[in-house]
Amino acid sequence: MPVPLVIDTDTAQDDCIALLVGLLDPAADLRAITMVAGNLGFDQQVRNAFATLFVAGRLGEVPVHLGARRPLVREAVDASDVHGDGTGGLAAELAARHPSLAAAAPAAEHAVDALIRLAAEHSGELSVVAIGPLTNIALAMLKDPEFVGNVRKLYVMGGSNNGRGNITAAAEFNFYVDPEAARAVFRAGFDVVVLPWDPVTLRDAVFDQPVLDRIAALDTPLARFFTRVCAATLEFDRRVGIDGTTHPDSLTAALALHPELVTSAGRYHVDVETAGELTRGYSAMSWGVHTLEPNATVIEKADAPAFRHYLRTLLSRESAVS
Ligand code: BDR
Ligand code: CA
């Protein structure tokens, strides 16, 4: 049976590929896309989500719900210096050519209400894949005390396992943007699985040039979409010493559907720094020696070749629009 799923996203670059996972993998029953402030200006993120739906041939089939336009208590921080518009200009080009895409409209229901409703409708069955700041998830659990118990599993892309950050030395972007939300979520009692930036993304979810070339050679509409969308960040990645494009969001979506992509994981007590002067958003992942009760499963290693193969296979499908 396909897994009922919501993807909560700040859609730019790899978020788009994570949406393709939810939209095209037959193992997924993507019930909704919920939007949260993060990578880019909010409205651009929404345009990117619609462009992805369009390219997947699923525009109008999966609703897009607008959520929090800023973090719980802080000013919004984005990463438009890294992502540009998040699609290498493709979202605007497609909208200019396709009136149905230009006219796409979000659902009337707020993202937080959609999360609450879907979790209640699929109580004990809904998986939530959160690949942006955790603002919407925190708001849903504050609004509905049943939300935590109704969600089967919460998959989070965020933090580092006591390692390097990417927006500061200490913090990964999603936790940095809304550390109060992240802290609240880890203290709430979800069955939560975390895919960190360091070491797992940096080791198992970077696509170097030969991998990117093999994807480009597929020459399907989806592979062309991937190449265009991901090319936008390649220059930035290389400048900061990463030899390729990074795919933590799509890996998180993929492993929610295919747990065998995880080759090592541990139970940790995860908490997020909200007060530090230099360490805002730092994720303290305590591995059991500090007498703290575990509250999360942290992925330690993923099957990188299997993940690359998985995405290549997904992108080799012809059934999409260009
Ligand atoms: C995370 O930040 C975003 O820029 C990416 O989409 C990913 O979710 C990595 O730190
Ligand atoms: Ca993201």
Question: Tell me: the pLDDT tens digits for 292-301?
Answer: 999 999 999 9
User: Pocket of ligand 1, candidates 9, 13, 44, 131: which has the most ligand atoms within 8 Å of its Cβ, to mutate?
Assistant: 131
- In the three-class reduction of DSSP (H, G, I as helix; E, B as strand; rest coil), residue 155 is classed as strand
Residue 322 lies in a domain: no
Rounded alpha-carbon distances, angstroms, from residue 249 to 14, 174, 294 = 6, 11, 24
Residue 57 has pLDDT above 80, yes or no: yes
Q: Rounded to the nearest whole angstrom, what is the distance from the C-alpha of residue 185 to the centroid of ligand 1?
A: 18
Mean pLDDT for all residues in the chain: 96
Residue 321 lies in a domain: no
- In the three-class reduction of DSSP (H, G, I as helix; E, B as strand; rest coil), residue 272 is classed as strand
**Total structural domains within the chain:** 1
Residue 322 has pLDDT above 80, yes or no: no
Strand partners, 268: 296
Residue 320 lies in a domain: no
Range(s) of the domain holding residue 47: 3-315
Strand partners, 157: 195
* CATH code of the domain in which 199 resides: 3.90.245.10
Rounded alpha-carbon distances, angstroms, from residue 101 to 6, 240, 322 = 21, 35, 12
Ligand nearest to the CA of 173: 1
Mean local confidence (pLDDT), 246-260: 98
Residues near ion ligand 2 (CB < 5 Å) are 10, 15, 131-132, 249
- Band (54; pLDDT cuts 50, 70, 90): very high
Percentage of the chain beyond pLDDT 70 is: 99
Mean local confidence (pLDDT), 225-233: 93
Closest to 174 (Cα-Cα) out of 276, 39, 18: 39
Q: What is the DSSP letter of 290?
A: S
Burial of 169 per CB tally in 10 Å (0-12, 13-18, 19+): exposed
Closest CA to ligand 1's atom 2: 173
- Band (232; pLDDT cuts 50, 70, 90): confident
Euclidean distance between CA atoms 39 and 299, whole angstroms: 23
Tracing tokens 């979520």 back to the chain, one arrives at: 185
Residue 43 lies in a domain: yes
